[in-house]
Amino acid sequence: MAEYSVFSLVRNALGGNRDWKPAWRKPDPRPSYDAIVIGGGGHGLATAYYLAREHGITNVAVLERGWIGSGNVGRNTTIVRSNYLLPENIRFYEHSMKLWEGLSHELNYNVMFSQRGVLNLAHTPAQLDEHARRGNAMRHEGGDAVLLGSEEVARMVPGLDVSGSARFPVVGGLLQPRAGTARHDAVAWGFARAADRLGVDIIENCEVTGFLREGEKVVGVTSTRGDIRAPKVAVAVAGSTSRVMHLAGIDNLPIESHVLQAFVSESLKPFVHQVVTFGAGHLYMSQSDKGGLVFGGDLDGYNTYAQRGNLPLVEEVMSEMVAMFPSLARVRLLRSWGGVADMSMDGSPIIATGPLPGMYLNCGWCYGGFKATPGSGWCFAWTIARDEPHPINAPFTLDRFQRGILIDEKGQGATPKWH
C-alpha cells in the first residue's frame, strides 16, 4: 500500500483521484491464526496493530460483527485527556497521551489530534481546592496541569457566564493544556489501515457466536463465517462484553452496560476553543472543526444494550449547557446518538488475562474508552504476547474486586451507574 504524503495527494489530485487504493483488505477468515481479537473498535484495532508492530505477531484476525467504526469508536465526544487523580490511572492515561502525541506520524494517517486543552470548571472554593489536589497529583506523576482563577477562565472562555449573578458562579478551573480532541472515525481507520499493512486480517460482518474449548482452555471461536482457531483469544467489545463472555459461560463479571448519549448542535462560528466541563453537574463540551458544539453528560442510568437514550437526560444536559453559556439558549440541536458503555464497579478498566486459559479481557472503560485507545491497545498487546501485564496495566486486574483492592477514582464504591 502506498504511503500517504503530500506527493501522493498531488499525484492523485492531478489524476482525478482514480488511483487511491482501499485503506485495508477485505479477506475471508482463515481456519487458524496465532491470535484472535474479538471487536473491531478502537481498542481491538489498536491491540492488533501493537501485537504486530511491537511484538511481531502478525498472524492476527480482528473479528468485527458490523463494519469498522460502527460501534463506540464512532459514537463518542472525541475527548482525549489524562487528568486523573489516582496514580494508577494517571500513569496509564499519561502513557496513552504520549502515544496520542505521535500517533498521526506513526500510523501515517491524520487522526486530527488537537491539543486544545481541557478545562474543568470550579464553582466553589472547596471544589477549586479539590482541583488543586488533582493538579498536584497529575504533576507529581509527570503530567501537566495549571490552576486558573476566575479572571483567567473568563479570558480563556469569553462566552462563559462568570458574572456575580450566574446560577453557578465560576471561581476558577483546572486546565490540562496537552489534552484535547481527536477525530474518532480517523482513529479507527488509521489503526485499521496500519494493522492491515502489517499483515493483520480485519474481518468485518463476522459475529462471534461461541467459543471453541479443549477442556477449560479456549482455542478459538465459532462465528457467522465459520470456526476460527487460535491459541490466544482476546475480547475487546466494550458494552457487549457481558454478552460475549456469556457465550463462554462467564456471567459474573463486575461490570454493567449503560447507554451514554452524545449530542451535536447546528454549526456556529468559532465560540469555544477548549474542551470545557461543568463543575456543578456532568457536562463536557467542545466545538468541532465543522462548527457544531459536541457535548455529553451523564449516563441514562439504566442497564441497556440499545444505542439510543431518553429525553430526560437530553433535557438535563441542555439545561446545564445553558447554565454555563446562556447565549446558547436558542441554538438548535442537530442530532444525538448513544454508545453502550461497560461500567466497572470502581470506575477503572480491566486489562488482564481472562477467567479461562487462552482468553484475554479488555473491558470496564466507563467514560474513558476513547481517550485510552492507543494506551489500551499497547498494554493489551503486551499482556497477550507475554501472558502477563505490563507494569502500567498491572493494577487493572480482573480479581481486584474479589480481593478488595479497588482503583476507585471517584471514591463511590461499587456503584457502576455513577462511574
- Provide the domain limits for residue 326: 114-179+256-344
Q: 206-241, pLDDT tens digit by residue?
A: 999 999 999 999 999 999 999 999 999 999 999 999
* Whole-number pLDDT of residue 34: 98
Same domain, 288 and 378: no
163 lies in a domain? Answer: yes
Same domain, 267 and 240: no
Same domain, 383 and 307: no
Same domain, 164 and 286: yes
The count of domains in the chain is 2
CA–CA separation, 245 vs 218, rounded Å?
12
The string over 45-72, giving b where at least 16 C-beta atoms fall within 10 Å of a residue's C-beta and e elsewhere, is: bbbbbbbbbeeebbebbbbbbeebbbbb
Same domain, 188 and 158: no
* Residue 258: half-sphere exposure toward Cβ, Cα within 13 Å: 23
Which CATH number goes with the domain that contains 265?
3.30.9.10
* Residue 257: half-sphere exposure toward Cβ, Cα within 13 Å: 18
* Whole-number pLDDT of residue 415: 74
Provide the residue type at 301 as one letter. G
How far is Cα of residue 418 from the mean position of the Cα atoms in its chain? Answer: 18
* Whole-number pLDDT of residue 1: 47
DSSP for residue 239: G
CA–CA separation, 202 vs 241, rounded Å?
20
CA–CA separation, 112 vs 181, rounded Å?
8
Which CATH number goes with the domain that contains 386?
3.50.50.60
Q: Flag residues of the chain having pLDDT under 50.
A: 1
* Whole-number pLDDT of residue 2: 54
* Whole-number pLDDT of residue 157: 96
* Whole-number pLDDT of residue 125: 96
- Choose one of 314, 344, 374: the last residue of a domain: 344
